[in-house]
Amino acid sequence: MIRSSCFDRLRTVTILHTAAAAVFFYVLLMPGFKPFDILPRAGEAVTVYMDGTEIGTLKAGTDAEALYREARSSLSSTEGDFVYTDVPEFKYVKKEAFFCHTDPDAEIREKIKNRLEEGIREDLTPSYSIKVNGTVVTVASASQAGEVLQSAIARYDRDDAFDVELVKDPSREFNVLIPRITDRRKEGGDLTAPLAAGAGHIEEDLTVCEIRSGKEGFDSFDYCVNDMDFSADVEIVESYLAAGETADPDVASSMLFDLQEVQQIYTVQKGDTLSEIALTVGLPLDEIIALNDSLENENSVIHPDEELIITVPEPELSIVWKETERVEEIYDLPTEYIYNDSWYTNHSEVVTQPSAGCRDAVIMTTRMDDNEISREVLYEEVKSPAVAKVVEVGTIIPPTFIKPISGGRMTSPFGRRKRPTAGASSFHKGIDWATPVGTSVYASSGGTVVKAGWGSGYGYVVYINHPNGMQTRYGHLSKVYAKVGQTVKQGDVIAASGNTGVSTGPHIHFEILVGGSQVDPMNYL
Task: Kindly give the interhelix angle for 249-257 and 142-154, rounded to the nearest 10 degrees.
Answer: 50
- CATH code linked to domain 319-396: 2.20.230
Low-confidence ranges of the chain (pLDDT < 70): 1-44, 79-84, 86, 96-100, 121-123, 173, 187-215, 243, 417-426
For 105, the enclosing helix (H) or strand (E) is: helix 105-118
Check: CB of residue 139 under 8 Å from CB of residue 238: no
Residue partners of 362: CB distance under 8 A and separation at least 6: 218, 221, 223, 324, 325, 326, 377, 378, 379, 380
Opening angle at CA 425, ends 421 and 429, nearest 5: 125
For the chain, the C-alpha Rg in angstroms (whole number) is 40
* Cα 174 to Cα 413: distance, rounded to the nearest angstrom: 68
Q: Quick one: pLDDT at residue 6?
A: 42
The per-residue pLDDT for 19 is 35
Cβ contact 422:495 at 8 Å: no
| Contact between residue 495 and residue 481 where contact means Cβ atoms under 8 Å apart | yes
Closest CA to 159 of 187, 180, 184: 184
Assigned CATH for 409-523: 2.70.70.10
The answer to whether 121 and 85 are in contact (CB under 8 A) is yes
Contact 254, 316 (CB under 8 A): no
Note the CATH architecture for domain 263-314: Roll (3.10)
pLDDT of residue 191: 39
pLDDT by residue (tens digit) across 394-453?
998 888 899 999 999 998 888 876 666 655 566 788 999 999 999 999 999 999 999 999
Q: How far is CA 451 from CA 120, 460, 489, in A?
A: 92, 10, 16
Cβ contact 297:289 at 8 Å: yes
Q: Dihedral of CA 400/466/513/507: which sign?
A: positive
Q: What is the pLDDT of residue 280?
A: 86
Query: What residue ranges do the domains of the chain occupy?
Result: 6-118, 127-197+232-255, 263-314, 319-396, 409-523
Give the other-Cβ count within 10 Å of 324's Cβ. 20
Give me the pLDDT at residue 1, please.
35
pLDDT, residue 92, reads: 80
Rounded Cα–Cα distance for residues 87 and 89 (Å):
7
User: From residue 203, how far is each of 147, 207, 320, 486, 515 by CA, in Å?
Assistant: 24, 10, 12, 65, 54
The pLDDT of residue 399 is 85
The model's pTM: 0.52
* Cα distance between residue 391 and residue 316, in whole Å: 42
Distances in Å between the Cα of 497 and the Cα atoms of 293, 294, 326 are 36, 33, 70
* pLDDT for the residue numbered 116: 83
**pLDDT at residue 197, as a whole number:** 37
Q: Are 231 and 319 in contact (CB under 8 A)?
A: yes
In whole angstroms, give the CA distance from residue 111 to residue 71: 9
Q: What is the DSSP string of 331-376?
A: E-PPPEEEEEEEEETT-EEEEE--B-EEEEEEEEEEEETTEEEEEE
